[in-house]
Structure 1
Amino acid sequence: MLSLFQNRDYAFLFGAQVVALIGTGLLTVALGLLAYDFAGNRAGLVLGTAYTIKMVAYVGLSPIAQAVVQRLPRKAVLIGTDLIRAAVALCLPFVTDLWQVYALIFVLQAASATFTPAYQAVLPDVLPEERDYTRALSLSRMAYDLENLTSPALAGLLLTVMSYHWLFLGTVAGFGGSALLVAVSVIPVLSGTAAARPFRERLSRGLRIYLATPRLRGLLALNLAAASVGAFVLVNTVVMVRGDYGAGETGLAIAMAAFGAGSMAAALLLPRLLDDLPDRRVMMAGARSLIVVALLMGALIWLDGLPAWGVFLLVWAAIGFLYSSILTPSGRLLRRSAHAEDRPAIFAAQFALSHACWLLTYPLAGWAGQAIGMGPALLLLAGVAVVGLAVASRHWPDGLPDAPEHDHPDLPEDHPHLRANGGRRHTHAFVIDDEHRVWPTHG
């Protein structure tokens, strides 16, 4: 993986991701303390509202933002959204009312909903070889996991010598550093075809390509499976660790570290595994195994209570490993499912649809844990994952060819596409575009 950093532009872009993630981690801690200043014991309600605003912005604004900025240079979009996020972070220490917090969080998350899919769509163009791109996906996964582990520790260290308000300046520095690193990188320029389309078509094109592609419909269902069990872990771990095990904040950190360590282990293993195995086999195996682990753990908790602490940590590490094995290869599927000019649109569609899964499973995990208990709640979320796996198996069948034979009865004989591919009936790597509006085996 380290050989990727010989690519100067990728090294700068990865650095931009890392410093922005550190800034985001500091923001999360500072925002929690700011909420407590405003609301005291009701800070959880404030944070819950802020995170709901985040998810709504991600789901509702990402495709719209992508359609709006498609006419702009990609580098300018990335730098501009980083600077907007830095400006919002700079304003947060000076707010005097909760509505101002909510408004600024909405602006910040709207910028993130623009930046993240645009950044993800750039990487396949910077790393055109699939082997390199696969390793970049694993590095990105590890960066997220390391941020979850290190940012709270860094924030805790800084808070020993300064007020939490200064953490917002760390966030400003993170987003500003990200903008600077993007500025010194070279980002390939896309053709003007996509930008020339009418706004309505730009708005719907990514979603249309996504839902017309069998492997991406399968990916969406697998996102639901991963989000179901993942939401249980992220929402209810604190309740089990603090309430049932009687552990303190250190215990919670250890439990989440176990989950993150499992995820990082998968990210390290996957590049070599995906060199030899198809994406579908790896992702489906991960989903099946995740469901089995969740069902067994849910039944154990329901019938016999929580297991020994060491067993609990091993299970959380296994869930992290399997969760990552489902999600990490997703960029490979998106990369091969659209032409370069359409990749920003389908990455935005993936961003919105995958967060819609979390918008469903987060509240379900929280409600179920409180209403029916942890064991039944985990069984319920595992049941949702079973539905996701079943839908994925149906819409992304094994053996579906990437280059199906098809014809074009609607195209004239002298059409450039027919001339380039040897006639009306032909075979080539198939993606949904202007000449191919329906997948051959589905319509």
Structure 2
Amino acid sequence: MVPSQQSFGYEQEESTPMPVMWYMVPAGQVQQMPCPVQVQRLSFAAGASATTPSCMPQGWWQPPRQMPGPQGLPLLPVQAAQHVQPMLLPQSAQMACPASDVPLEGQCTWSYTGTVPEQCCDHPRASAGSVAEVSTAPSEASPRFQEADNLPTSMKMSASTARRLRRKRAAERKARADAADLTKELHPHPDGKEELAQLRGHVWELSQDKKGCRLVQKALETAGRETVAIAAELSGHIVEAIKHPEANYVVQKAITQLSVAGSGFIVEEILGSAVAVAKNRMGCRIFCRLLEFCSTNPKVGYLVDELLHVADVAELCCHSFAHHVIQSILEHGEERHKHVAAQTLIADVVRFAQHKNTSYLIEKVMTLGTCSEQDQVAMVCALEFKCLLFLAKTQYGRHVAKTMLQDPRWYAVWGAKNFERLIFPFRAGLESDRFGSLFLKDMAESLREP
């Protein structure tokens, strides 16, 4: 670095993630700087330790004890009367004195001398050399700076975290605005009669809209006696609404709000399309709502008969969406329908126990109160201990093995002793297996439970 030239550099400031730019002004040219800038006063005698003024944060500026001279030569000690004079430009300066506007002529001394003037320009007592620091960090009064102070220390340096927070807050503001608009549109008057009158004749159109379907759902909840009239406008569009990404929620809400007899028109339109509805992403939800709220309706029984007799039940049990319908049948269906589903699973229980969808259905069969005692005992007899050891080493079968070995009826049927004595000879093989070790861990936790 040539002494007659200015030097520039960047320092990482301790209190903020933004860099601090500093530059050295050549000697004798401080008075020639093109603009006046108010600076803070900081001075100390040579050989004394630097003191940080109260107005400056700790660690804002620490002068070096020794600066290298030109070509790496050490500097001569400065006079005791000479003082170090850093010049801190405030945020209001906005880089009013860019480095490019400072002349390069003159000679720069390699010691900090003189006293700090009140202005960097046109001051009679300007020093022979000075150092100015310009902080590019955000002002402490800015909202962005205050927002960063409220974050944990580990998050202040992460720009991606700030972007995620902004996106999250924008989504929350949008959700609040949508909720306010929905409430305003639905309840502009205390009695609500005018709003219901506006819905008449437009229920199907609104049900196909993302925002409109919410209005119709809310109207079905609050309409009271008008609920039947609102739901009746969906007549003739049920099959289409079931496959619609928005309208299917309106059909589900209608099933939950209508009486068992009032939802009969929905079942009538689904008859003949039971298999397609059960295998549909949205249609399986409609089927489950009918079994939950209208299982006593004979028409729902006819719908389940069509499903179990037309389609392959084993395929339905393994299907990504239809297996939810089979689960609802095991929980809310008629006994004859439960028996058909249970017998299908018992016929090939080892294969079904290894499938991610049907393994949960086998556990449902063994739940008390779900299926008949006869079907549950048949399931226990279908799984010997060797089969359970094999299933314990599979990803999904280990859950079925755990359910069976937790049931005291399994020990009664096979005349086995308790689990610990039964599994002891095979523990080493299970512990060496990935899923076998998880099976032992789950069984140990279940045995500790009261």
- State the TM-score bracket (shorter-chain normalisation): under 0.3
- Higher RCO structure, 1 or 2 (CA under 8 Å, sep 6+): 1
Return the index of the structure with the highest Cα Rg. 2
Q: Which structure has the highest helix share of the two?
A: 1
TM-score by length of 1: 0.18
TM-score by length of 2: 0.18
